[in-house]
Amino acid sequence: MATPQIKTILYSYWRSSCSWRVRIALNLKEIPYEIKPVSLIKAGGEQHSNEYRELNPMEQVPALHIDAVTLVESLNIMQYLEETRLHRPLLPSDVVKRAKMREICEVIACGVQPLQNLSVLIHVGEEKKDEWAKHWINRWFRAVEKLLGSCAGKYCVGDEITLADCCLIPQVFNARRFHVDLRPFPIILRIDRELERHPAFLAAHPSNQPDCPPEAHK
């Protein structure tokens, strides 16, 4: 399936948690890729340009150009990588464990993240956005912590890194950005600590992106 002569390009924004999920998956699977930064804030947002809209009609990052096709939506992209690249499986082989993994992915990707997406926060308004984001992250993290209680091992689902971990870690970073008190979520915190020094996660971290502004470096 892999055609090495076609370059894999990830359209990414350093702080976008959906881009970050895909960066982790690409790194874990050791797929070489080039990053094309799309600034979500410069000139009202480069994701709204005519050129980028042709790549991603949702006017969001990420988009991945791979195998001569452009794919959008982060869970979909990661699933495609899994189905076309056998190296380092990111889905459990057991069908029920796979479902438990997808529950966590979906709670994060369809539950919490859409509500603290940049375009939604702009719509909510400057003065209310922090309270709004905090409210929803807290609500959904309670559910994630509960789900993890029955399936987590060293990582979200057992002792192997899966797509659920690719979704969780960027969301924990977001929770910290909005000053969510994470102490009520001990399993989430433990998994976050477990993965913070992992090379694939570290290389995907916002502060290690080419478009990370100097003042944001840790």
The site for a second copy (CB under 8 A) is made up of: 1, 57-59, 67, 69, 71-73, 75-77, 79-80, 83-84, 95-96, 98-99, 102-103, 105-107, 109-111, 113-115, 120, 123, 132, 135, 140, 142-143, 146-147
Between CA 88 and CA 31 the distance in angstroms is 11
CB of 218 to a second copy, least distance (A): 29
Query: Quick one: 118 or 212, whose CB is closer to a second copy?
Result: 118
CB of 35 to a second copy, least distance (A): 21
- Hey, what amino acid is at 137? I
CB 136 within 8 A of CB 153: no
Q: How far is the CB of 14 from a second copy (least distance, A)?
A: 21
Are the beta carbons of 15 and 98 closer than 8 angstroms? no
Q: Which two tokens stand for residue 27?
A: 């790194």
- Minimum CB separation of residue 13 from a second copy in Å reads 17
Q: For 40, how many CA atoms within 13 A lie in the half-sphere containing its CB?
A: 20
* Structural tokens at position 187: 């399993």
Give the residue with the Cβ less far from a second copy, 18 or 24. Answer: 18
How many Cβ atoms sit within 10 Å of the Cβ of residue 136? 18
Q: Which is nearer to a second copy, 28 or 75 (CB)?
A: 75
Cβ-proximal residues to 15 (8 Å cutoff; 6+ apart), any chain: 40, 206, 212, 216
Is residue 128 within 8 Å of residue 171, measured between CB atoms? no
Nearer to a second copy, 53 or 196 (CB): 53
In angstroms, give the least distance from the CB of 39 to a second copy.
Answer: 20
Question: Which of helix, strand or coil describes residue 65?
Answer: strand
CA distance 30 to 200: 9
Residue 55 beta carbon to a second copy: minimum distance, rounded to whole angstroms: 11
Residue placing its CB nearer to a second copy in the complex, 35 or 167: 167
Torsion angle of C-alpha atoms 210, 27, 15, 80, degrees rounded to 10: 120
